[in-house]
């Protein structure tokens, strides 16, 4: 896939050509606007395509901006805070010149971070590695409890950092979860686990699937709405 910047008056966006795309589509998230087009689509057709979707794009961008304004501020500095399953952890950052491997440890409501160089990039990298490790433990305990309760089983667990996907369940029972779910309230992670465990019995999003999920998680619609509204804010 290749990309190039483009600008409709008032709406900057990237155009990305894809060999796999059959139709043009528009993706909007907190990072901006992307127009995915088939390889053979003439560029002069992109502008009118975007113009036809302008109201939807503007409405979606406003929704993201509002969610950003409502979300807690993440400050990757000493004394700053980061979210962890509904808690706010205070960062205690120490720069140790010459340190090769960063170290992160939680002590109550504090997250102590030792890095080898100053700056938010080093802190962010160290925290992401820590969150990934924590995600494996947090997800595994919930998965084990849910599958024991439902009499099902999964074949493997991987932790990833996809841009838009929160979790997945393969036909073989392999589970994948996004570490950024730890930046959400605990009930959101609990819901996503229940969602994927339901896929062990019903793979697609059929009426039968949603009926099964509703029995196990009666508030699933509320959690889905929360993820749609605030999912883009779950980042360091």
pLDDT digits over 120-137, tens only?
999 999 999 999 999 999
* Same domain, residue pair 97 and 37: no
User: Hey, what are 97's tokens?
Assistant: 């010149």
Instruction: Give the pLDDT score at 223.
Output: 97
3 state DSSP class of 208:
helix
* Same domain, residue pair 86 and 47: no
The total number of structural domains in the chain stands at 2
pTM (2 d.p.)? 0.78
* Same domain, residue pair 17 and 123: no
pLDDT in tens, 18-59: 888 888 998 887 778 889 999 888 888 898 999 888 888 888
**Domain carrying residue 26:** 2-70
Q: Which of 30, 48, 70 is the last residue of a domain?
A: 70
Bridge partners, 117 (sequence order): none
Instruction: Give the pLDDT score at 1.
Output: 52
* Same domain, residue pair 166 and 65: no
pLDDT in tens, 70-124: 766 788 999 999 999 999 999 999 999 888 899 999 999 999 999 999 999 999 9
Instruction: Give the pLDDT score at 131.
Output: 98
Task: Give me the DSSP letters along 184-211.
Answer: S-HHHHHHHHHHHHHHTT--S--HHHHH
Is residue 229 included in any domain, yes or no?
A: yes
**Which has the higher per-residue pLDDT, 221 or 8?**
221
Instruction: Give the pLDDT score at 8.
Output: 46
Instruction: Give the pLDDT score at 3.
Output: 52
* Same domain, residue pair 107 and 154: yes
Is residue 189 included in any domain, yes or no?
A: yes
* Same domain, residue pair 46 and 122: no
Is residue 76 included in any domain, yes or no?
A: no
DSSP character at residue 96:
-
Distance in angstroms (rounded) separating the CA atoms of residues 122 and 91: 13
* Same domain, residue pair 42 and 87: no
* Same domain, residue pair 104 and 53: no
Q: Which of 25, 43, 70 is the last residue of a domain?
A: 70
Instruction: Give the pLDDT score at 69.
Output: 72
Q: What is the CATH number of the domain that holds 193?
A: 3.30.2010.10
* Same domain, residue pair 91 and 187: yes
Q: Which of 15, 41, 70 is the last residue of a domain?
A: 70
* Same domain, residue pair 171 and 192: yes
DSSP character at residue 36:
E
Task: Output the average pLDDT for the chain.
Answer: 90
* Same domain, residue pair 110 and 210: yes
Is residue 32 included in any domain, yes or no?
A: yes
Instruction: Give the pLDDT score at 11.
Output: 80
Instruction: Give the pLDDT score at 2.
Output: 53
Is residue 75 included in any domain, yes or no?
A: no
Backbone angles phi, psi at 33, to 5 degrees: -120, 130
172: exposed, middle or buried (Cβ count in 10 Å: 0-12, 13-18, 19+):
exposed
Is residue 126 included in any domain, yes or no?
A: yes
User: Hey, what are 112's tokens?
Assistant: 């102590």
Is residue 112 included in any domain, yes or no?
A: yes
Q: Are 53 and 35 in contact (CB under 8 A)?
A: no
* Same domain, residue pair 131 and 58: no
Is residue 21 included in any domain, yes or no?
A: yes
In residues, how long is the chain? 236
């Amino acid at each position: 896939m290749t990309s190039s910047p483009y600008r409709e008056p008032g709406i900057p966006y990237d155009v990305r050509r894809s060999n796999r795309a059959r139709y043009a589509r528009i993706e909007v998230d907190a990072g901006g606007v992307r127009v995915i087009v088939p390889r053979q689509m003439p560029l002069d057709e992109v502008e009118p395509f975007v113009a036809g979707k302008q109201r939807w794009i503007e409405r979606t961008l406003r929704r993201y901006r509002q969610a950003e304004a409502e979300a807690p501020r993440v400050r990757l500095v000493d004394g700053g805070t980061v979210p962890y399953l509904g808690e706010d952890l205070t960062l205690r950052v120490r720069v140790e010149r010459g340190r090769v491997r960063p170290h992160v440890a939680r002590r109550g409501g504090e997250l102590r971070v030792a890095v080898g160089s100053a700056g938010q990039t080093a802190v962010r990298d160290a925290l992401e590695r820590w969150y990934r490790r924590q995600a494996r433990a947090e997800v595994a305990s919930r998965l084990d409890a849910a599958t024991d309760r439902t009499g099902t089983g999964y074949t493997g667990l991987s932790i990833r950092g996809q841009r838009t996907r929160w979790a997945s369940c393969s036909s073989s029972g392999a589970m994948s979860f996004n570490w950024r779910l730890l930046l959400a309230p605990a009930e959101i992670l609990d819901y996503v686990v229940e969602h994927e465990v339901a896929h062990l019995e019903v793979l697609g999003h059929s009426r039968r699937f949603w009926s099964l999920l509703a029995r196990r998680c009666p508030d699933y619609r509320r959690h889905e709405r929360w993820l749609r509204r605030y999912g883009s804010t779950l980042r360091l």
